[in-house]
Amino acid sequence: MLWQKIIFMTDCLFVPARRNFGKFLLPLLFLLLAGSGLAMADTNYSVLNENAITVADPSRVLLISIAHAGNRLVAVGEHGVIVYSDDNGQTWHQAVVPVRVTITSVAFATPLVGWAGADYGLVLHTTDGGLTWTKQIMGAEINQLMVANATQFLATNPNDPKAQMAVRRANILMSAGPDKPILSLVAMSPEVAIAFGAYRLAIATNDGGKTWTDLSLQVADPISHNLYDTAWIGTSLYIAGEAGTVLRSDDQGKTFVLLPTPSENTLFGIFDAGSNIVLAYGVAGAAFESANQGQSWSQVNVPSQSNLTAGITLKSGTILLANEAGNVFLSSDNGKNFHMIPGNQGMGIFGVAQAANGNVVLVGTSGVRVVPLSSLN
């Protein structure tokens, strides 16, 4: 049976794996898994229908991403927890969230209006600066949008192999159910936002989230990778993803072109390292930068063996990267050299933001760590 083969293949994950593992095997594997027909039947997911429970200490839960809503900091994480701080990360409060699933990403268009992306293809929306959230769209609906879009594409281009491929892809993803998490969000205005996710999931809204459209056919990634992060650099919108995938949009996110791959390593983040230098980082300490909008890349030397999972350019111009082993690295020469700051944060670091007072707020497996700006010099 197919699923036995899959389990066999997955068992191989636990022995030292072959080279090129990340490039093809994982996306292929997940497409197989997704299409195996053994996916969950139409289940009533209780975790999508109940409010997140109140946690004992909002600053001590696993948090994955952090964003600004004006001067407020909003961070998202496990079991539907969204927390916010109005004092630069010193104290945290829990927002009202209608679900209990992992929330992976958050972005604000204005201090009041923002979106959060979650597991099950869920997009949440807030209009009060992150205090309360409502559900806008979920995975099952995204699957339908995707199938409808691909079907329409095929109807207008019946002989286009790309269109046939698109329909096949949409149907496979549809049959797996709403299992694809949103991984990244970009909020351009209170009306316009794009959400990216697993297997090249991409949806966009132009009406503040009332209606969403499938954008995945406009993202030129033929293998349907996981799209982990997005960033505005200059006037372009960049996406970084699995197996070294980098895409760029020069038309405000309407279409994305595939850029040369810096390496086969999966990229978890991408950001502006200053002076329009693009810096991307990811698996096993890998980091790359490009001074020509991603046309060519050079490796950046970061003394990390663990995954780099957070990065930011501070107001001072210093570039900060952090990894899953709790280490923080700094570069004061536009990313040419990084050094590790002494001391370990004692948790895997998944997200970073600079608070209004200049302090660096890290989020990760054990919650929040505030690193005073003074200690970074």
Partner 1 sequence: MLDYKNSGDMKVHAKVESFDKKSGSWFEGILFNNRLVFLTICIVITIFLGIKSLDVRINADFNDTIPTKQPFIVNYLKHYADLQSQANAVEISVTADTGTIIDKNYLNTLRKISDKVYLLPGVDRPFMTSLWTPNTRWIAVTADGLDSGPVIGDTYDGSPKQLEGVRQNILKTGEVGKLVSDNFKSSMIYVPLLEINNLTGKPLDYGDLSRQLNAIRDQYDSQGVTLHIIGFAMVVGDMINGINEVLMFFAVSVLIATMFLYWYTRCIRSTLLVVFASITAVVWQMGILSLLGYDLTPYSVLVPFLVFAIGMSHGAQKMNGVMQDIGRGTHPLVAARYTFRRLFLAGFAALICDVTSFAVLMMIQIVAIRQLATIASIGVGILVITNLMMLPTMLSYTGVDSRAALRSLASTPEPGPPRSRNFLWNFLDLFTRRNYAIGAIVFMLALGVFGWYVGRGVQVGDLDNGAPELRQSSQYNQDNAFIGENFKTGSDTFIVLTDTPEQGCLNYDVLIALGELQWQLDQLPVVKSTNSLASFAEYGSMLMTEDAPKWFGIEPNQPMLNSLNGGLPANLSNFTCSFDPLYISLRDHKAKTLDTVVNVVQKFIANPKNQSPNFKMSLAGGNAGIAAATNIVIKQANENMLFLVYFVVIVFCLITFRSWRAVICAVVPLTITSLLAQALMVWLGIGIKVATLPVVALGVGIGVDYALYVLSIMLKNLREGATLSDAYHQTLLFTGRVVILTGITLATGVVTWIFAPIKFQADMGLLLSFMFLWNMFGAMVLLPSLAYFLLPSRLFQKQTPSG
The residues of the shown chain that bind partner 1, judged by CB under 8 A, are 3, 6-7, 10-11, 13-14, 16-19, 21-22, 25-26, 30, 33-34, 36, 38-40, 43, 45-47, 53-56, 62, 64-65, 78-79, 100-102, 104-105, 119-120, 176-179, 181, 183-184, 226, 228, 242, 265-266, 268, 283-284, 286, 305-307, 309, 324-326, 346, 348, 350-351, 364
**Shortest distance, CB of residue 361 to partner 1, whole angstroms?**
16
**Shortest distance, CB of residue 124 to partner 1, whole angstroms?**
15
Distance from C-alpha of 259 to C-alpha of 295, rounded to nearest angstrom: 6
Residue closer to partner 1, measured from CB, 6 or 188? 6
Count other C-beta atoms under 10 Å from residue 6's C-beta.
16
Under 8 Å CB-to-CB from 220, ≥6 apart: which residues? 247, 255, 256, 257, 258
**Shortest distance, CB of residue 346 to partner 1, whole angstroms?**
6
Residue closer to partner 1, measured from CB, 33 or 278? 33
Report how far apart, in Å, the C-alpha atoms of 19 and of each of 16, 23, 264, 281, 365 are: 10, 9, 10, 19, 29
Which residue has tokens 């990340």?
22
Residue closer to partner 1, measured from CB, 14 or 161? 14
**Shortest distance, CB of residue 318 to partner 1, whole angstroms?**
23
Residue closer to partner 1, measured from CB, 66 or 163? 66
**Shortest distance, CB of residue 333 to partner 1, whole angstroms?**
25
Residue closer to partner 1, measured from CB, 9 or 373? 9
* CB of 112 closer than 8 Å to CB of 90: no
Q: Is the dihedral of CA 131, 64, 351, 196 positive or negative?
A: negative
**Shortest distance, CB of residue 231 to partner 1, whole angstroms?**
15
Which residue has tokens 């001590």?
60
Residue closer to partner 1, measured from CB, 40 or 155? 40
User: At how many degrees (to 10) do helices 161-175 and 26-35 cross?
Assistant: 70
Which of 363, 328, 327, 268 lies closest to 319 in space, CA to CA?
328
